[in-house]
Structure 1
Amino acid sequence: REVYRESGISGFWKGLIPTLIMVCNPSIQFMIYETLSKRLKSKRSGKRFPKKNITAMEVVFLIGAMAKLGATLVTYPLLVVKSRLQAKQEIGRNAASRYTGTLDAILKMIRYEGLHGFYKGMGTKIVQSVLAASVLFMVKEELVKFVVLLVARSRTLLLTRSNK
């Protein structure tokens, strides 16, 4: 009722455009992750290093963290705009300072706060999201290794049984 009273039916859709664009965050994150992972693996396959998979620690502290950091730097301004649009804007305030939509919010933020306004609070978000992504990629890599091992063992068992 409060949202409807303040903004009408359109109030239920505030922040939709930035939210839809934010869907690209995981795509950017995985693209960076896969690119860095392939580069590291190709360097490892050179003559100086024996062929070896990337360790979980490297994924946690290097690749996973860098991938999430890159994705967050690119998409964080949209998260700020979305939050601003969805935040309750007091009716008693100056109507000119209220946001009427995504573009209006972006323009007012640039005008009154400058570009750094889009990155307010990013330090906390980076700590939270980079740590979460690092753990996610570590678990992913370990699960992939485990599944590959299981598949190899099951193939060996099947070949052994079929040869008997």
Structure 2
Amino acid sequence: MSGSQTGRGKWQWENAVAGAVAGFATVGSMHPLDVVRTRFQVNDGRISHLPTYKNTPHAIFTIARAEGLRGLYAGFYPAVIGSSISWGLYFFFYSRAKQRYHKNRSGELSPGLHLASAAEAGALVCLCTNPVWLVKTRLQLQTPLHQTRPYSSLYDALRTIVKEEGWTALYKGIMPSLFLVSHGAIQFTVYEELRKATVFFKSGRNRNDDADDVLTSLDYAFLGATSKVAAILFTYPFQVIRARLQQRPNSVGIPRYADSWHVLKETARFEGIRGFYKGITANLLKNVPASSITFIVYENVLKMLKSTRPQG
């Protein structure tokens, strides 16, 4: 293997490590809002085992009072595992895709190629991690009102799901998850374009590789938050559809919804357009600052790893 090939491989793993560290930091700081968001998303007013919450603060207070800290951190371990793996794989696949598109081109990639790189990375990550997100969702929806035996751990949840519902159940919600690939694609495209614009604004140079010398953690926080808001507004209904599909079947094994089309029809019929945006306040409160944290950590860890490379 040539020196340049070795360098490219190391660069990809640096992206993976930086992404995994960023994902872990994000989940640890924002998980209670993720629990609240998931419970809002699936509560269509006709499910008996979920309490009714007035708003995000009321939900946090009610969960803390009724279920304690365990309730606010339900599904934390699969969330940590899933987020760390997802971000690590995402940045790894994303950097590889960009590198591949760069081979026969000079200068910066176009927005379309950034979009294609992000979509490719998102689809691969989705196929790898769907079972972990399924378990996270189900653990977050376990309340004292459940009539079925609760899952005691990530392993118990995986074993029980496979035993009671079969291997295919681990991929419930995969279709809206694949549509949600557009979330990452939109976010990374907006991030990259704003990043270039910010570098140009601050330095007068339209070069993305000047970012390390020009951009600060505050800039990365702004870029991460802005790109996240854009992605959430466009793709949030797919998150609601996925969460509703991933609910645990009732005590006799009958799922609440048959497929994505069933969720779409039932939600539109009984709840209207607002039903597709349930929990978006908690989602914004969680993901906008979380995205800022992610990109601050990612860019700074990546900068640190670059500085340790041997020169020459």
TM-score (norm: length of structure 1):
0.72
CA shift digits 1:124-151 (9 cap, x unpaired): 1221x21121112222222233244442
- Tell me the amino acid that sits aligned with residue 142 of structure 1: E
Does structure 2 retain, via aligned residues, the 8 Å contact 1:14–1:101? no
Partner of 1:67: 121
Aligned AA (1:140): Y
Q: How far has the Cα of 1:106 moved from its partner?
A: 0.6
Please name the residue that 1:104 is paired with: 156
The percent identity for this pair of structures is: 25
Structure 1 letter corresponding to 2:174: M
Per-residue CA deviations over 1:1-42 (Å, capped at 9, x if unaligned) read 67876x776444431110111222122111111111012112
Matches within 5 A, 1:1-164: 10-24=70-84, 25-44=86-105, 51-60=106-115, 62-88=116-142, 93-95=147-149, 98-127=150-179, 129-150=180-201, 151-153=203-205
Please give the secondary structure, in 1, of the residue aligned with 2:87.
helix
- CA RMSD after TM alignment: 2.7
For residues 20 and 14 of structure 1, the distance between their equivalents in structure 2, rounded to whole angstroms, comes to: 11
Letter in 1 for 2:135: V
- The change in CA–CA distance for 1:3 and 1:91 in structure 2 (over 3 A counts) is farther
User: Which residues of structure 1 form unaligned runs of 5+?
Assistant: 45-50, 155-164
Checking the alignment, whether the CA contact within 8 Å between 2:82 and 2:129 is kept in structure 1 is yes
CA distance in 1, matches of 2:74, 2:155: 12
Paired AA for residue 135 in structure 1: I
Q: Distance between the aligned counterparts of 2:68 and 2:118, measured in 1?
A: 42
Separation (CA, whole Å) in 1 of partners of 2:69 and 2:199 = 51
- Pairs aligned (count): 143
Distance 1:37-1:4 versus aligned 2 partners, 3 A rule:
same
Give the superposition deviation at 1:92. Answer: 6.8
Distance in structure 1 (CA, Å) of the matches to 2:148 and 2:114:
49
Q: Kindly provide the amino acid, as one letter, of the partner of residue 37 in structure 1.
A: K
| Rg (Cα) greater in structure | 1
In structure 2, the CA distance between the partners of 1:94 and 1:63, relative to structure 1 (3 Å rule), is closer
Following TM superposition, by how much is the alpha carbon of 1:70 offset from its aligned partner in structure 2, in angstroms? 1.3
